Structure 1
Amino acid sequence: MSRPGDGEQRRAGHPRRYTEETAWRAWDGWATLPDLDLPAAGQLVSVVSAHPDDDVLAIGGLVQRLRRRGCDLAFVCATDGEASHPDSPTMTPTRLALHRTDELGRALARLGCSGARHTALHLPDGRLGDASAELANRLEPSLQDAAVVLAPWRGDGHPDHEACGRAAVTVSDRWQAGPAVWEYPVWAWHWAEPGSPAVPWGRARAVRLGTEERLGKAEAINEFRSQVEPLSDDPADAPVLPHAVLAHFTRAVEVVFT
């Protein structure tokens, strides 16, 4: 998950503060969310992400469950995540992109998906909104045979995430019977509050994770060393995913909007 640019961290109307994970875990609304009904075994599920960690963070448990169910999984990453540390004195964007691509491969292997098809679009990190038409056109081949597409939520508050969600819906709408698009929140856990009317809770479906799924997801997240550990002692090399942020992705429930 790359940092959004200044002034883009939240859409208009979003609070300028972070919601602690303790508030989410104390929320009594989790029990009211219906469970997600999974696609049938053998169906193709295409997983779209903006950066080389968004999907693992948000739905790493669901990915494992789909694999065990026998769904065919394919992954598409729009950028190489080269803008996560724009002022780094130790890592060039090109080198960082290579690191993050390798990290994603190891993370997917932790989820049991080492043999799954993976497509990298190599679009510019932080500027997907400026390439919306190209993004949709290049996503299309990876989505055309899918029964379900998992993509970042169009209201997530991060411009790249929102661009990916919009592109997935655009592509699905090109066909008379296009795939269902299920959206997953990533950045929203930072700015939204439990029960917030800005979140489409009526579309929310819960994936309640078992112990092995949580463990597998944690191991996968730990593969993103460039994001969870400092690149150096320089402040510009600080982790993009410090403990307070990671806490949102270690809870026992994942959410998608159907």
Structure 2
Amino acid sequence: MTDPNTNSQKKINSRHLIHCITHPIAIADMANIVLTMGCSPIMAEHPEEVAQITSGASALLLNLGNISDTRIESMKISISIARKRNIPILLDIVGVSASTFRLKLAYELLEDSPICLIKGNYSELISLASGKSTTKGVDTSHREIHSTIKSMLKVKNRANFILATGEKDILIHEDNAHIISGGDKKMSQITGTGCMLGAVLASSIANDKSLEATIHSLSTYLNAGEQAAKNSIGPGSFRVSLFDSLSFFYNNPKEVDIRCEKISI
């Protein structure tokens, strides 16, 4: 793999349109993240307009959080359009470890052909691989990392990238797993930070679908979380500082510290 520290230290530098079909809990934060990443968000979800909106987008982000019948219909329309037009798709499988309904929906969205990126936490990826919802918690011990990788390999053919997030993030691409360190525990103390990461990555793949760019964008967000934790005194100031810190690292890509270990699988 080309060293991501040398070849991907660049801003996205575009106004790509990112179509996000997501939930109201995180929708505003996700839209602002897309703007921070140099792209333009559109959060359309009405079934009568999503085909047209998706057709003009540079990436499609589908987030299964707080799901509704309307968004389910719109997701199925949009993913069909995106596949026909070769628009990169990111599927964030929020909640499939707790809901068999969402797990079934994830399978339906993935049934036709591989997509660009599947994102979930450890438990969500294990559920996607096993076909069983579980409330298993996230534990990133050395043993748990390898058992999660084993589960992720079962769904490897469903996407170009598979990302499991936790205390250490696991990104599988082709025949390698990349263990990426960073972030801060304060990121779990406000709602929507995982969904915001989806917005970061959707903005990235709209511009560059390479492994190096994906690792760099993930590390950019993790670095922003670390800096925000240092500059804040509580969850409110942390949220504000997270946006400011992400803006700093987006505009100063050479400052991003990438801590990535590659494992052959």
TM-score under structure 1 normalisation?
0.37
Using CA pairs under 8 Å that are at least 6 residues apart, name the structure with larger relative contact order, 1 or 2. 1
TM-score under structure 2 normalisation?
0.36
